[in-house]
Amino acid sequence: MGELSQVFTVQGILFALMFIGFLLRKRHVVEAGFQKGLTALVINVVLPCNIITAFYVEFSMDTLVQSAQIFVVSLLVQLGCFLLALALYGRQSPQRRAVLQYGVICSNAGLLGNPVAQGLFGAQGLLLASIYLIPMRTAMWSLGVAMFAAPSKEKWWVKVLRHPCIIAVEIGMVLLVTQWKLPNVVVTLVGELGDCTMALSMVLIGILLSDFQWKDFLNPQILRFCVVRLVAIPLAVYLGCLVANIDDLPMYVAVIMAAMPAGATTAIIASSEGGDVDFAVGCVTVSTLLSMIAIPIWCMVIG
């Protein structure tokens, strides 16, 4: 892993970009509708391009082994998070139980984790982070949604297969294994769009945090949730990787991805499925702000 100074450099850039998004929303430079459009742009175009670029590298056995390792780690993490969510929050009120269980199972590893992994570990880190997200996105549209309400009319596996980021991983895997060379114009276009990922993702998160209420920091249930999300889960991943003798880079990426805050979709699904929306927003905002402290600490621990 890079020097500690690199961690704080990346963290400083993330803070600055988030603050820009926060100010844009607070000053009404952008309105609520802009947030929805920017989310669609990042998820459907920018992030998939970034993922494809990460896979457009020279194939090696080390890459294959590390990809397999982090995929297995992610599968075990999702299983553990599901069991943990059931054990910890089974007796909560239905509306809050759904929020807490979903928040444990589904983090913001896609929107926040990918830029962090790329900033800290380069293209190889982004590649492994994209692999790590496959089981989580599967859990998000199956177990996660089931926490809130009756299953959607559309089968969960259809949602997973149609997700732009999963399609990007599939395309990237084909390019990695076959080593096909794309036309320069395509490589340049995809690369230019992918390079916008960190800036747009962080600005979007800043916009999402514009509704933050300081009183949420006084809610003990939210703070306990943050301990689980930002401390307990990555600690379990770190210790498990050490015991299993996972290679350094997959372990570093897995721990950082596991230390991500509650996903923004927690509040979105709570709103659409009748969950406790205010509580969900509190879990997302407080865990996101605290993750800006937790992530550098985890970088020092694993470093």
Mean pLDDT, to the nearest integer, of 128-155? 76
Return the CATH number at 178.
Answer: 1.20.1530.20
Each residue of 162-202: pLDDT tens digit? Answer: 778 888 888 988 998 888 989 999 999 999 998 898 888 88
The band of 273, judged by pLDDT with boundaries at 50, 70 and 90, is low
Phi, psi of 56 (to 5 degrees): -85, 65
* Residue 81 confidence class, pLDDT cut points 50, 70, 90: very high
According to the per-residue pLDDT averaged within each range, which of 22-31, 73-82, 86-95, 293-302 is highest?
A: 73-82
Judge whether residue 3 has pLDDT over 60. Answer: no
**Between 154 and 8, whose confidence is greater?**
8
pLDDT at position 4, please? 60
Buried b or exposed e, range 279-295, using 16+ CB within 10 angstroms = bbbbbbbbbbbbbeebb
Domain of residue 236 covers 4-302
- Long-range contacts of residues 23-29, Cβ cutoff 8 Å, at least 24 apart: 23/206, 24/203, 24/206, 24/207, 25/206, 25/207, 25/210, 26/210
Separation CA 232–CA 237 (nearest Å): 9
Give the mean pLDDT of the chain. 86
Which of helix, strand or coil describes residue 153? coil
* Cα–Cα distances in angstroms (integers) from residue 174 to residues 60, 168, 255, in the given order: 14, 10, 27
Beta bridge partners, 107, equal 262
pLDDT in tens, 96-111: 898 999 999 989 887 7
Q: 214: burial class by Cβ within 10 Å (0-12, 13-18, 19+)?
A: exposed
Q: What is the dihedral of CA 199, 203, 206, 208, to 10 degrees?
A: -120
Give me the phi and psi of 121, to 5 degrees please.
-120, 5
Predicted TM-score (pTM) of the model is 0.82
Which of the pair, 109 or 76, is modelled with greater confidence?
76
> Could you give the angle at the alpha carbon of 303 between the alpha carbons of 127 and 14, nearest 5°?
60
Task: Indicate whether 251 pLDDT > 90.
Answer: yes
Please compute the mean of the pLDDT values over residues 270-277 and round it to a whole number. 72
Residue whose C-alpha is closest to residue 281's, from 208, 225, 224: 208
| pLDDT of 75 over the 90 cut | yes
Per the structure, the count of domains in the chain is 1
Report the C-alpha gap between 225 and 260 in whole angstroms. 13
| H helical segments located in the chain | 4-26, 32-41, 47-55, 61-89, 94-105, 114-139, 145-148, 156-162, 164-178, 184-194, 197-208, 220-227, 233-244, 248-258, 265-273, 277-302
pLDDT at 151: 52
Residue 260: per-residue pLDDT: 94
Share of the chain above pLDDT 90, in %: 36
Confirm if 208 and 36 have CB atoms less than 8 A apart. Answer: no
Q: Which of 101-105, 120-124, 226-230, 289-293 ranks highest by mean pLDDT?
A: 226-230
